[in-house]
Structure 1
Amino acid sequence: MKRLLLALLLVLVASSAQAAVWKVDTDHSAVHFSIQHMMIAQVRGAFHDISGSVTFDGAVPSAFDITVEVDSLDTGVDKRDDHLESADFFDEQRFPLIRFVSTAVTPSGEGYEVTGNLTLKGVTRPVTFMLGGLDRSITDPWGNVRRGGVATLTIDRRDYDVRWNAPLDGGGLLIGNDVDIIVDFEVLEPR
């Protein structure tokens, strides 16, 4: 019995020793989004200030904790950015951060299915996204070991109390409800 407990303890110690927390490289990561405008076109934008970490068990990602600064929003039009940061949309003064914390990471096809809790504008809801990449390491010219990935998902903005809209004369609404999101990111191995 003692040998069995000792063996189990060694396995647990070995597996926890292999877990490593890699930091998101904020200079090479961003959250991109698009939403339908006037029922005829897509408007695109990005959040450029993304931080956090990805935990790896060996070579496999096992946990994500990602934070996005709302005031890093950029659609290329200052007036639109100001409106999006207002209480009509993100209410950046009251809710300056968007956060995702994973609850499960499951291999799926060539990547992973990641489930977790997304908190936006003070509302937390479960989401699942597809993740590609993170399968190989590259050493940059300065000796940093990196991995890169792309996450994709679609959310309904109304689920997060982002409800502002305006009717169009011919019917329909100014802004769509579905937001397509692509997160491009790089992570750095701990030194």
Structure 2
Amino acid sequence: MKQGFLFLIVGALSYISVSAQTKWSADPMHTDAAFSVKHLGLSFVDGDFTKASGTMESKSATDFNDAKIDYIIETASIDTRVEARNNHLKTDDFFNVAKYPEMKLVSVSFKKIKGNTYKMVANLTIRDITKPVVFTVTQNGGPITDPWGKTRIGFTATTTIDRHQFGMKYNDKLPSGVEAVASMVSIVVNTELVKD
């Protein structure tokens, strides 16, 4: 009887050990989502979303293979340094921030390619349209212990999306047929995560 009881305890402890995850929270002061899009076929307009929050669960503080990632970006925080352009981007031509206040990113898989580079497949939701998107993710360094005793890690994730696939309807063109605002948008997400 005692042996059976001990077996159950050891089994439970083993399960807890195997299933334990390291939890991280994005530092909002050091996390943002930037974008760049071609304008009139001539130059690039860039900007970012200054309010983003997120979490990550990893196997340990040093093993990020198969990590689970969940981020929310506030669309009204868009900033291109030009107020009139910001206001246009907030309308139904683009993000319709009144109706769709958040973009969401939830990982489906997170696999190390080599060294400090990972491939992340994530469900990206913009304007309530969800599509799988592939990101290249670079671990920038860490984990480190910051001056306040917290454990931190940093990543940069990059991808390119077709904005029309996410319901952004603005489609003005020059007489030559060149898009006033290009369909393809480059995205860069920079984040520092703090171990909970």
Using the size of structure 2 for normalisation, the TM-score is 0.89
Equivalent pairs counted in the alignment come to 188
- Distance in 1 between the 2:58 and 2:159 partners? 22
1:70 equivalent to 2:75? Answer yes
1:117 equivalent to 2:123? Answer yes
What amino acid is aligned across from residue 55 of structure 1 in structure 2? Answer: E
Deviation of 1:169 after TM superposition, in Å, equals: 2.6
Q: Which runs of 4+ in 1 moved over 6 A?
A: 2-8
**3-state secondary structure, aligned to 2:71:** strand
**3-state secondary structure, aligned to 1:136:** strand
Identity over the aligned pairs, expressed in percent? 31
Deviation of 1:170 after TM superposition, in Å, equals: 3.0
Of the three residues 133, 141, 144, the one matched with 2:139 is 133
- Distance in 2 between the 1:37 and 1:137 partners? 39
**3-state secondary structure, aligned to 1:60:** coil
Of the three residues 96, 100, 112, the one matched with 1:107 is 112
- Distance in 2 between the 1:118 and 1:4 partners? 44
Instruction: Note the alpha carbon deviations across 1:90-111, whole angstroms, 9 max, x for none.
Output: 0100000000011111111232
Gaps of 5+ in 1: none
- Distance in 1 between the 2:14 and 2:175 partners? 66
1:165 equivalent to 2:167? Answer no
Q: CA RMSD in A?
A: 1.9
- Distance in 1 between the 2:53 and 2:105 partners? 11
Q: Compare 134-143 and 62-71 and name the one that shifted more.
A: 134-143
Deviation of 1:117 after TM superposition, in Å, equals: 0.7
**3-state secondary structure, aligned to 2:24:** strand
Using the size of structure 1 for normalisation, the TM-score is 0.91
**3-state secondary structure, aligned to 2:98:** coil
Report which of the two structures shows the higher radius of gyration computed on alpha carbons: 2
